[in-house]
């Protein structure tokens, strides 16, 4: 069912992993989908093919999500090419994991800028056309690390917790313009990031998950589609943990 028919979505970091799954799911639900990527041009082309195969318009934009100027330019381009922007998914993110005592200033700054500042950049740019439309949806991809913390991820957890605070505040600021803002906090998901773990590490993590499996990018994407759809019309300022029951 095309619950997002005639909608235009913008997904940051949409060339692979969770971002690609979100872009494809939004297209399958009827939305035209623009997305950004930083360097993976071949992966971006694969995402474009998937969106086109769903019968939807698409456009990819190579940009640095941590750059305010890049974010403004991308949003302006999307509005110019598609006529509007209805859904923004702030998904761009990286990790630079290590214990705080070993963490460099660069490790800290890169993660905060890419994961948190990027959400500020794109939300600020996108809220103006959404306010003019008097409707819109922003979904921030946070993490359970931002809810409960995770050793070795001080920078990542701080950025993701910051996204949660930003989500709740923006939801209050934009509600009068019929713009809903929510966050999704994924648990352990099968992506390039978790692919670096040893089997022993994966087994240890799964021992903490009541459903006894890792999530998939599609598990996250389905929730984003729901939050972007009319079915979630009365939901704003919330954080949905999609984690197999890890955070209860």
The full set of domains in the chain, from first to last, is: 8-189+216-239 (3.40.50.720)
Mean pLDDT per 10-residue segment, the chain (248 residues): 94 96 98 95 96 98 96 98 98 95 98 98 98 98 96 96 98 98 96 77 88 96 98 98 96
Please answer whether residues 244 and 209 qualify as being in contact, where contact means their C-beta atoms are separated by less than 8 angstroms. Answer: yes
**Dist CA 98 CA 23 (whole Å):** 30
| DSSP code, position 60 | E
Q: What is the pTM of this model?
A: 0.96
The whole-number pLDDT of residue 136 equals 98
Q: Where does 29-177 have alpha helices with state H? A: 41-53, 68-82, 105-111, 118-133, 145-148, 154-174
Q: Provide the pairing of β-strand 136-141 with 179-186.
A: parallel
pLDDT tens digit string along 43-81?
A: 999 999 999 999 999 999 999 999 999 999 999 999 999
- Report the DSSP beta bridge partners of residue 241: 185
> What positions carry a catalytic annotation?
156
């Amino acid at each position: 069912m095309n619950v997002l028919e005639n909608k235009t979505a913008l997904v940051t970091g949409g060339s692979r992993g969770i971002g690609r799954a979100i872009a494809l799911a939004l297209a399958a639900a009827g939305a035209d989908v623009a997305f950004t990527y930083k360097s993976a041009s071949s992966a971006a082309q694969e995402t474009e093919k998937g969106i086109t195969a769903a019968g939807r318009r698409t456009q990819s934009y190579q940009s640095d999500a941590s750059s305010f100027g890049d974010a403004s330019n991308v949003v302006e381009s999307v509005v110019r090419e598609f006529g509007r922007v209805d859904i923004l998914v702030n998904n761009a993110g990286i990790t630079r994991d290590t214990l705080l005592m070993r963490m460099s200033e660069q490790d800290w700054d890169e993660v905060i800028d890419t994961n948190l500042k990027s959400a500020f950049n794109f939300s600020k740019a996108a809220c103006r056309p959404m306010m003019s439309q008097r409707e819109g949806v922003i979904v921030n991809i946070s993490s359970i690390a931002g809810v409960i913390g995770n050793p070795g991820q001080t920078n990542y957890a701080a950025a993701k917790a910051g996204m949660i605070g930003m989500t709740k505040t923006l939801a209050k600021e934009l509600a009068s313009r019929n713009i809903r803002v929510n966050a999704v906090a994924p648990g352990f998901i099968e992506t390039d990031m978790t692919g670096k773990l040893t089997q022993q590490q994966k087994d240890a993590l799964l021992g903490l998950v009541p459903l006894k499996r890792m999530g998939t990018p599609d598990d996250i994407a389905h929730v984003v589609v729901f939050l972007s759809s009319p079915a979630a019309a009365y939901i704003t300022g919330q954080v949905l943990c999609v984690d197999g029951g890890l955070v209860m």
